[in-house]
Amino acid sequence: LQNKELDSVLNEVLEQRNEERRKPKCPKGTRDMDPLQMAIREKAFTIIKSVFKRHGACEIDTPVFELKETLMGKYGEESKLIYDLEDQGGELLSLRYDLTVPFARFVSMHNFEKIKRFHIAKVYRRDNPQMNKGRFREFYQCDFDIAGTYSIMIPDSEVIKVLSEILEQLEIGEFVIKLNHRKFLDAMVELAGCEKRKFKAICSSVDKLDKEPWEKVREELIMMKGLTPEMCDKLEKFVKLVGKPMELLQKLKDEGIFAGHREGEETIKEMETLFEYLQAMNCIDRVSFDFSLARGLDYYTGLIYEAVLTDPNNRVGSIAGGGRYDGLVGMFAGKTIPAVGVSIGIERVFAILEEKLKKENSVRSTETQIYIAQIGKNLVAERLRICSELWAIGIKAETSYQDNPNNQRQMEYTLLNGIPLILFLGENELKEGVVKVKSLSKKEEYVIKRDELLQEIIQIVRDNPILL
Amino acid sequence: LQNKELDSVLNEVLEQRNEERRKPKCPKGTRDMDPLQMAIREKAFTIIKSVFKRHGACEIDTPVFELKETLMGKYGEESKLIYDLEDQGGELLSLRYDLTVPFARFVSMHNFEKIKRFHIAKVYRRDNPQMNKGRFREFYQCDFDIAGTYSIMIPDSEVIKVLSEILEQLEIGEFVIKLNHRKFLDAMVELAGCEKRKFKAICSSVDKLDKEPWEKVREELIMMKGLTPEMCDKLEKFVKLVGKPMELLQKLKDEGIFAGHREGEETIKEMETLFEYLQAMNCIDRVSFDFSLARGLDYYTGLIYEAVLTDPNNRVGSIAGGGRYDGLVGMFAGKTIPAVGVSIGIERVFAILEEKLKKENSVRSTETQIYIAQIGKNLVAERLRICSELWAIGIKAETSYQDNPNNQRQMEYTLLNGIPLILFLGENELKEGVVKVKSLSKKEEYVIKRDELLQEIIQIVRDNPILL
């Protein structure tokens, strides 16, 4: 063998060994959920689902991938972030990018005229992940939508109410729901004398106002979007309209800001109706009427909204968003089915809850209520018998998988896993027909007759609730 | 334009129009879950999860796709059924094929020495779908595994207990859990005088005995696998060993079937221990000791089992399976981490439950407890106010999204959705400070003072439980 060949063989062997030794990992932008994270996730989902159900929503699910053609042409520029599956000699498939397009496909395919549904599932985006900021390539969305032809602002107001209930009950800090209306944005652009075709470009600049000062946005509007200073002066008056719903509405009317503009005036009336309903549902205090909210998505046709956390320590930005989209479902159905909904960015919620619950030490990865320990030898079958009796009456019980576990280990396991009760099974006690139970939270000890075990344990478990 | 060109233009236009008119659909082998199916799915998951939790298991989740290299070389022939993602200029990715390999990767990546976890998630196989038989390309698996170095048969017996509790509590009919041991299969092949290298081929024939008579399997063994008639005669004696655990064990000992065969004799002792534990846990009656069970998977090293439904009307075959695999986790971890587990084929469970619950008419797609109806005009805000008060105390309430819904429609909605209570809001009653509530199940009517509404409703809801 020549030197060169030798090197190449050597490299190959080294590479292989390297390969073997390499730690397995998750794909870029994805992560495993460990048991503690799963417990927190379930906690959050339980709260969210119970709100959806309280409002009479049903649940649906769709496949994780769709025909490529179903997703094509729905996401504009962002389409490049869609994951495609390899062509393995069948259909062309893509992973779902959100839950809204699959929902529109679902409604049309199953001939629904109306539906109030929620859908909690993972979506996929080949984006630049920033995992420390909660931006992943695989992440959960939590969507609630009401589709159907209904009276003005009734479903819209319920979606706002649902969003505010969820954010209250998750207990992740103070929040505000910013509201605006697509038709106000249309009117604003028109009344500022801008060309209609620049609508999207103007909105995308205006929407930066939550992060940048007006001067910077103004500069962008003039330099990049070709607006005149006069146009910008007029726009400025609009985008600075922010306030409590009823007060700002009064101001719009008093100052005649949309006076003579038919759509503007109509939209004022719509907002009046919405605010009346939000007042009736006792959630108007959660809302800020904000003309600088100009969410990017093309398909919004009416009300738009975005929830942000206001706690200065939790600057995660937007945590949920949505609006009315009366055209999207019809793209599949061939007839108009209006819809309004909200999507909750649950990964940020998880991150906040994770930090909070770990700090409070108030989360466990299992729910075991009692640990069956043995003192002495050869008691496996008796331990399993007791577990089995407890399982049969719904009590969560565990025991060691060792034939003869030592005391230290059994105690450690119970403490480390936050199990509130430990039962000791001893050869001598067993002969006397008793067992001992210790409460680790209350530091109490009970001696119980073996044949009264179940009734007694039910009572003790009731007095020593698990943390979760 | 020439005729040919005209045709081609015409075809193009027609194709496009056809495209537009075409109904959207799901990818081959996948399906949407409608609200009723979702309610059933949740019912099943709740039962299954509560069993897992009662046994002290934690939950984990992993990404839907893995690095291609993680899955490579783990599934033998079946690898061709793996869905690959398109190479879009990053890592090479594949959709997960089961939950066992991702579990092994998880345990190794996060340096677990031991873990008792469950994982409920979708897996993907580019198989030939038979959707009416419950065979899909996207389907749920429900896995429970115990990894760690423990005493003989303790974790194994708990896995069997978990499986038997789940199948009992799902109430999908009678079942039996067939048990065998990899080492009995090894011994059987050896004692029949067959070559060791034919082990897999022989097992795959033997495993057909639940569907085919011995004569056919014997023929296959001789014609296709090259066994002699003498070998087959010896094998036949083994594979016909089926019976109640303790009885068959006694027979093995009495007749000295593995006498002098070290591994066979050791395995008899292992089984004796297992059966003692199953007896202690009161589930040995669910078990059949069956030498014809020869599950295909390469990686099993000890106990193997399979649950089948025995109701002749429910011939869906195997509904769950598993075993001990002491080598797999170590392939990633670089050290031996023994493991034992079970995977439940939940799609078949769904199908049986769906049929059963729809027949009993005992499933609803929503959980609404009371519908707020109006008689008269202009009561939207008042309806929403009442809903909001009810939501605040946890009652599931709905009202119409129409400004002035007619009586008929409101009544229909309540009945069709199985809502047990309907509250009528009338202009006149409102002036008198009262509302009416009707119980649709008990056919009773209550007149309630508006300012005593909440206390009264709590009581009435308690007396009129929803179906689910």
**Is the CATH number 3.40.50.800 carried by domain A370-463?**
yes
Cβ-defined contact of A31 to B63 (cutoff 8 Å)? yes
Question: What number of C-beta contacts closer than 8 Å exist between A and B?
Answer: 260
Q: For residue A311, name the pLDDT band (cuts at 50, 70, 90).
A: confident
Provide the pLDDT for residue A272.
97
Q: CB neighbours of B173 closer than 8 A, spacing ≥ 6?
A: B309, B310, B311, B314, B352
From A277's Cα to the closest Cα of chain B, the distance in A is: 6
Interchain CB distance below 8 Å, A35 and B83: no
In CATH terms, the fold of domain B35-359 is BirA Bifunctional Protein; domain 2 (3.30.930)
Phi, psi of B308 (to 5 degrees): -130, 145
φ/ψ of residue B130, rounded to 5: -130, 85
Give the model's confidence band at B312: pLDDT under 50 very low, under 70 low, under 90 confident, else very high. Answer: confident
Q: Which residue has the higher pLDDT, B131 or B103?
A: B103
User: Of A106, A126, A384, which has the smallest distance from its Cβ to B281's Cβ?
Assistant: A384
pLDDT at residue A332 tops 90: no
In DSSP notation, A325-393 reads: -SSHHHHHHSS---EEEEEE-HHHHHHHHHHHHHHHT---S----EEEEEESSS-HHHHHHHHHHHHHT
Other CB atoms within a 10 A radius of the CB of residue B424 amount to: 19
Among B98, B120, B100, CA closest to B47: B120
| Percent of chain B topping pLDDT 70 | 94
Confidence of residue A99 (pLDDT cuts 50, 70, 90): very high
Q: Say whether B108 and A401 touch across the interface (CB within 8 A).
A: no
Is residue B175 scored above 90 in pLDDT?
A: yes
Q: Which helix (H) or strand (E) holds B120?
A: strand B115-124
ipTM: 0.91
For residues A30 and B95, the answer to whether their CB atoms sit within 8 Å is no
Cα(A327)–Cα(A308) distance, rounded to whole angstroms? 27
Average pLDDT, integer, range A115-125: 97
A213-222: pLDDT as tens digits:
999 999 999 9
What are the pLDDT digits (tens) for B317-373? 789 999 999 988 888 888 899 999 999 988 989 989 998 888 888 889 999 999 999
| Cα A417 to Cα A395: distance, rounded to the nearest angstrom | 16
Is a pLDDT exceeding 70 seen at residue A210?
A: yes
Q: Could you tell me if A304 and A293 are in contact, meaning their C-beta atoms sit under 8 angstroms apart?
A: yes
pLDDT above 70 covers what percent of chain A?
A: 94
**Separation between Cα atoms, residue B450 and residue B11, nearest integer Å:** 67
Optimal mutation site among A21, A54, A70, A80, interface B, most CBs of chain B within 10 A: A54
Q: CA B177, CA B275: separation in Å to the nearest integer?
A: 13
pLDDT greater at residue B466 or residue A160: A160
pLDDT one-digit tens code per residue, B243-285:
999 999 999 999 999 999 999 999 999 999 999 999 999 999 9
Two structure tokens written together for B391: 């939501």
Contact state of A55 with B396 under an 8 Å Cβ cutoff: yes
Parallel, antiparallel or unpaired: strands B93-95 and B58-59: unpaired
CB contact (8 A) between residue A56 and residue B391: no
Closest CA–CA distance from residue A206 to any residue of chain B (Å) = 33
In this structure, are strands A175-181 and A287-290 parallel, antiparallel, or unpaired? parallel
Q: Which helix (H) or strand (E) holds B184?
A: helix B182-191
Q: Which chain A residue has its CA at the smallest distance from B29's CA?
A: A63
Taking CA atoms, what residue in B is nearest to A391?
B54
**pLDDT of A6 strictly over 70:** no
- Determine whether the interchain pair A85/B87 forms a contact, defined as Cβ–Cβ distance below 8 Å: no
The mean pLDDT value for B144-168 works out to 98
Distance CA B436, CA B376 (A): 14
CB contact at 8 A, A147 and A337: yes
3-state SS track over A199-214? HHHHHHHHHHHHCCCH
- Angstroms from A282 CA to nearest CA on chain B: 7
Tens of pLDDT, residue by residue over B276-303, are: 999 999 999 999 999 999 976 678 999 9
Residue of A42, A49, A52, A65 to mutate, interface with B, max B Cβ within 10 Å: A65
Assess whether pLDDT exceeds 70 at residue A136.
yes
Looking at the complex, report in whole angstroms how far the Cα of residue A259 sits from the nearest Cα belonging to chain B.
27
CB contact under 8 A, A109 and B25: yes
Q: Least CB-CB distance to B150: which of A150, A367, A401?
A: A401
In a mutagenesis test of the B interface, which of A382, A401, A413 is the best target, namely the one with the most B β-carbons within 10 Å? A401
Cβ pair A385:B281 closer than 8 A: yes
3-state secondary structure B419-466: CCEEEEEEHHHHHHCEEEEEECCCCEEEEEEHHHHHHHHHHHHHHCCC
Smallest Cα–Cα separation from B298: which of B383, B182, B196, B450? B182
Tokens of A233: 């002066």
For residues A117 and B171, what is the distance between their CA atoms, to the nearest angstrom? 28
User: What is the pLDDT averaged over residues B46-67?
Assistant: 98
Cβ(B439)–Cβ(B420) under 8 Å?
yes
- Show residues of chain B in contact with A384, CB under 8 Å: 154, 157-158, 277, 280-281
The beta-carbon neighbor of A56 closest among B124, B151, B366 is B366
Mean pLDDT within B138-156: 97
- Mention every residue, 6+ apart, whose C-beta is less than 8 A from residue B240: B214, B291, B292
pLDDT bracket for residue A89 (50, 70, 90): confident
Q: Which of A57, A70, A398 sits opposite B366 (nearest CB)?
A: A57
Q: Where are the domains of chain B?
A: 35-359, 370-463
Give the pLDDT band (50/70/90) at residue A19. very low
Contact B388 A146 (CB under 8 A): no
Cβ-contact B98, B328 below 8 angstroms: no
What phi, psi does B377 have (nearest 5°)? -125, 160
Burial of residue A2, with CB atoms counted within 10 A of its CB: 0-12 exposed, 13-18 middle, 19 or more buried: exposed
**B-chain residues within 8 Å CB-CB of A93?**
27
Show residues of chain B in contact with A43, CB under 8 Å. Answer: none
For B276, which residue in chain A has the nearest alpha carbon? A381
A465 confidence band (pLDDT: 50, 70, 90): confident
What pLDDT does residue B367 have?
A: 94
Return the residue of B nearest to A388 by Cα: B281
Is residue B18 over pLDDT 50?
Answer: no
- Return the DSSP state at A97: S
A84 and B83: CB-CB below 8 Å? no
Q: Cβ separation of B63 and A32 shorter than 8 Å? A: yes
Confidence grade of residue B468 (pLDDT, cut at 50, 70, 90): very low
- Which residue of B21, B378, B388, B390 is the best one to mutate when testing the A interface, meaning the one whose CB has the most A CBs within 10 A? B388
Structure token digits, residue A238: 């609009």
State mean pLDDT over B53-60. Answer: 98
Average pLDDT of span A185-210: 92
Mean pLDDT of B455-459: 94
Q: Looking at the complex, report in whole angstroms how far the Cα of residue A207 sits from the nearest Cα belonging to chain B.
A: 31
Between CA B322 and CA B142 the distance in angstroms is: 11
CA separation for the pair B363, B342 (Å, rounded): 29
In this structure, are residues A104 and A328 in contact, taking their beta carbons and an 8 Å threshold?
yes
3-state secondary structure of B289: strand
Residues of B in contact with A88 (CB under 8 A): 83-84, 126
Cβ neighbours of A45 in B, within 8 Å: none
Of A48-52, B51-55, B296-300, the poorest mean pLDDT is in B296-300
Name the pLDDT band for A18 (thresholds 50, 70, 90).
very low
Nearest CA in chain B to A106: B32
Mutate to test the interface with B, among A46, A50, A160, A366 (most CBs of B within 10 A): A366
| Mean pLDDT, all residues of chain A | 91
Q: How far is CA A432 from CA A429, A449, B391, in A?
A: 5, 9, 54
Instruction: State how far the Cα of B339 lies from the Cα of A186, in Å rounded to an integer.
Output: 62
Asked whether the beta carbons of residue A280 and residue B117 sit closer than 8 angstroms, the reply is no
User: Which residue, among B109, B102, B62, has the nearest Cα to B82 in the 3D structure?
Assistant: B102
